Amino acid sequence: MVYELTKEPALEGPVMVSALAGWVDAAGVGTGAAGRLADGGEVIASFDPDLLFDYRSQRPILDIVDGVMRKTVWPRVLLTHVVVDGRDVVVLTGQEPDLAWRRFAGGVADLAARLGVRQLITFGSVPGPVPHTLPPPVMTTESRPGLLEGGSTPPDGLLRVPAAAVSIVDQHVAAREIPTVGFFIQVPHYVSGTYPAGLVALLRRFSTHLGVDLVLDDVEQEAETHRKTLDEAVAAQPEVQEHIRALEAMQAQQTVVSGEELASEIERYLRDKAPGDRRPLEEGDDEPR
């Protein structure tokens, strides 16, 4: 069995949120939003790391204390139950598996059916030709027309990019006739590190879609501070200023970014991302982030 269900709580119309670190998690926006939702929740299922991870790619973290090997922290994927504004939500998050994606996705679909999940919502983030000076655009997907709330629609045409494990999960869950939607924040391609504005945009989109209230004062303040930091950095770089003005003009003209343009940005992000560039788990990490 690829997963172990350690507790089966009584849930009423639960929604599942899925986000995995690695691919389609630019600036950690997807996993950051999922981790915020899961904070303070109860882990109800875990996946067997021996079946999912190549430990040479995602090495366990070893604690050596006074020359004694004390503890090993393994890469993991967890399912956490939390109540969001009175709504049961189960959050799947952790590291993107290296191996057995179809088996993993089948296990997630089994769990979704067993827990009576009404809908899967995938969180993610991708680099895009967008400026930090405007609200981050949200790309959307849906397993059938009419699932998206809030007036957004998926992009037209073909977008061909390297697949992510969360997308395979989406397909397997949808095959069980459980509706699925996806929210993917576009992160400015020139931004490195975290991007709090993307976190705010993703959580607001989730809130609108489900009709739940989220308190985001702290992350909104963080986004404002980060925006000022970016503005100061850009002020010293005329070429970057010119590039940002061009991106703003595209948005003002409501220019639709083509699949080719977006795919190009994603491919550049993947090419520049160092192999094994994933956040190690820290001592005391009992909940997904």
pLDDT on residue 13: 95
pLDDT on residue 276: 42
**Structure tokens that stand for 183 in this block:** 């929210």
φ, ψ for residue 188 (rounded to 5)?
Answer: -50, 130
Flag residues of the chain having pLDDT under 70: 150-152, 254-289
Give the Cβ contact number of residue 244 at 10 Å: 21
Strand-pair category, 87-95 with 15-21: parallel
Collapse the DSSP code of 77 into the 3-class scheme (helix H, G, I; strand E, B; otherwise coil) and give the result: strand
**Structure tokens that stand for 138 in this block:** 């949200």
pLDDT on residue 113: 97
Mean residue pLDDT of the chain comes to: 88
pLDDT on residue 237: 86
pLDDT on residue 236: 85
Decide: residue 189, CB within 10 A, 0-12 exposed, 13-18 middle, 19+ buried: buried
**Structure tokens that stand for 224 in this block:** 């404002």
CB 8 within 8 A of CB 261: no
105-110: long-range pairs with CB below 8 Å, 24+: 105/165, 105/168, 105/169, 105/171, 105/172, 105/173, 106/2, 106/172, 107/1, 107/2, 107/3, 107/47, 108/3, 108/18, 108/169, 108/172, 108/173, 109/169, 109/172, 109/173, 109/175, 109/176, 109/178, 110/3
pLDDT on residue 151: 61
Q: Side-chain half-sphere of 109: how many Cα atoms within 13 Å?
A: 22
- The single-letter DSSP state of residue 39 is T
Concatenated DSSP letters for 91-143?
Answer: EEEEEPPSS-HHHHHHHHHHHHHHTT--EEEEEEEEEES--TTSPPPEEEEES
What is this structure's pTM?
0.85
Q: Specify the CATH number of the domain 3-272.
A: 3.40.50.10900
pLDDT on residue 277: 44
pLDDT on residue 185: 95
